Structure 1
């Protein structure tokens, strides 16, 4: 029902559900995926909010107001950070978040935002880090060398959840592609009112949100809506042939085509806006029931992880690098996953590895058992 509801939001030839009882489950799904602000904004923009039940309207509006205040705080914090970078001559590009909502959804409150992501040149990272710390954000631990961002946080007023800032030097892990972040910088344009602060080009924005959705296994409808909204706004400005040539050169083509195939399969009206040149419906792996009701740490989640990283890296060596990192994490990653205890500090790393491999092999055993049962059921 929820997929059909989202289809009706973006394809207005489809009517909204007429049965008031349907909106109870739709509202549950909206809240599960944190889409209240987006759904409320789209219905208001289309003048169709009155076609929904009163209780549905009231709940959406209530949650929209909460998101409005949170996003306003984040918007002000983003401006403070960007102004600080500008004053210190640090080049930066805001990613997703508030700027994406304003540009592609029409208002900063039309899309729930929980953090601030900013692209920084590698050579400016330490300088940017000091600027962030002066704004009273705390560094959140260390990161492995192949990670492409540093994380900072501080508490938000009237919120139990802290505001997180991630400073990115890249958007993909090292040795997972041939992607060069410099292309994003070269094609970026100055953000209004700034000299050093840039905005991604339209093509690179679209490229980024597709790769971002893939990285998360398209495990939320919010990734679909980001891509759908961009397609509606950009329309023919996205030349898929040019985009796929870029992705082929970056060795991200399988990731890109897989993601867009899933989106177009669920929302076929997009072909009327910008026709998708691939047709791989027989290989669709995405399932709504799994992402909505399945356990993301389950056997299915484990099998999806294997599928993604065996079949959706363009080069076999990139798959092997992933599996090496996944099977043999370094001490820093183990420490972050299983912090040392005071009682067993001397053997904490060893204990961490034991916990890590016990969990991995338990899931693997369940996956193998599940596959065996399924194969027996076929016969």
Structure 2
């Protein structure tokens, strides 16, 4: 029911569910994917909150308020970090998170955020790490040579889950594409009154969130909503033909078209906003029941993983790099796959 419910939120020609009993399962799925704040905000913006049951409204509001306080703390931490980078002459671009919520959802509290991601020039990484550590963030373990970010964390008041920060120098793993990160810097623009802090262009923001969703196997409805919201906000500003040329050059075209295929198949009204030029029925692999109730460690989950990494890399050599890392993981990846003790679960956004 959640897919149909989200369809009715974005395609207002579709009515909200009339059966009051349906909202119990819808609410369970909303909470499973941590979408309460977004659904609450969309219903309020559309003036349709009163069309839902009272218990549904109350639960969404409770969750929204929790996200509001959490995101406010993260927003203040982000500003502190960006101000510190600005003072130290470190160029930086905030990715996703608070900035994305404010720009594409209308308010910093309209999208649940649990961490801070910032793009840093590789030559500035050591200087940026020193700044982060001076702000009392602790380094989170080792970083494998092929990875593309460093992780840090700090306890959040009244929260069992610490605030994580990832400093990126790239967006994809080494040798998994030909993506040139410099293009993201070249097309960025100054953020507010900053000199060294930038914001991604609209095209590169959209490109990034599509790649991010693919990287996570589109295993949450939050990745769908990020892409759908961006399409609604940007409308025809995204030239798909031009974007696909960029992706072809970066060897990420299959990843991009696969992700958009899945999103457009589940939410066909998007074709009326910005249509895709290829056959969207040819690459259907995503299934809601699998991500909601399936086991990624099952035989079916393993087969899907193999299928994705055989068919959705533009070059065979990139698939082979993945399989090499899969069958011969380094110490870092073994620790993450089989941790010595139960850790908090960090939800990447």
Q: Across the two proteins, how many residue pairs are aligned to each other?
A: 341
1:148-297 matched pairs, under 5 angstroms: 148-297=148-297
Q: Superposition RMSD on alpha carbons, in Å?
A: 1.1
Structure 2 counterpart SS, 1:283: coil
With normalisation by structure 1, the TM-score equals: 0.88
User: 1:34 & 1:67 partners in 2: Cα distance?
Assistant: 10
Match of 2:34 in 1: 34
User: 1:29 & 1:281 partners in 2: Cα distance?
Assistant: 26
Q: Deviations over 1:36-69 (max 9, x none)?
A: 0000000000000010000000000000000000
How far residue 336 of structure 1 moved from its aligned partner, in angstroms, is 5.0
Match of 1:59 in 2: 59
Match of 2:318 in 1: 318
Structure 1 counterpart SS, 2:38: helix
How far residue 293 of structure 1 moved from its aligned partner, in angstroms, is 0.6
User: 2:332 & 2:18 partners in 1: Cα distance?
Assistant: 54
User: 2:221 & 2:287 partners in 1: Cα distance?
Assistant: 11
Contact 2:264 2:280 in 1 (8 A): no
How far residue 310 of structure 1 moved from its aligned partner, in angstroms, is 0.3
Structure 2 counterpart SS, 1:128: helix
Match of 1:356 in 2: none
Match of 2:71 in 1: 71
User: 2:40 & 2:10 partners in 1: Cα distance?
Assistant: 13
With normalisation by structure 2, the TM-score equals: 0.96
1:358-369 matched pairs, under 5 angstroms: none
1:18-167 matched pairs, under 5 angstroms: 18-167=18-167
Which of 1 and 2 has greater Rg? 1
Structure 2 counterpart SS, 1:206: helix
Match of 2:346 in 1: none
Q: Deviations over 1:13-57 (max 9, x none)?
A: 000001110100000000000000000000000000010000000
How far residue 331 of structure 1 moved from its aligned partner, in angstroms, is 3.2
How far residue 334 of structure 1 moved from its aligned partner, in angstroms, is 3.0
How far residue 329 of structure 1 moved from its aligned partner, in angstroms, is 1.4
Unaligned runs of 5+ in 2: 342-349
How far residue 283 of structure 1 moved from its aligned partner, in angstroms, is 2.7
Match of 2:344 in 1: none
1:8-27 matched pairs, under 5 angstroms: 8-27=8-27
Contact 2:189 2:200 in 1 (8 A): yes
How far residue 339 of structure 1 moved from its aligned partner, in angstroms, is 6.2
How far residue 330 of structure 1 moved from its aligned partner, in angstroms, is 2.1
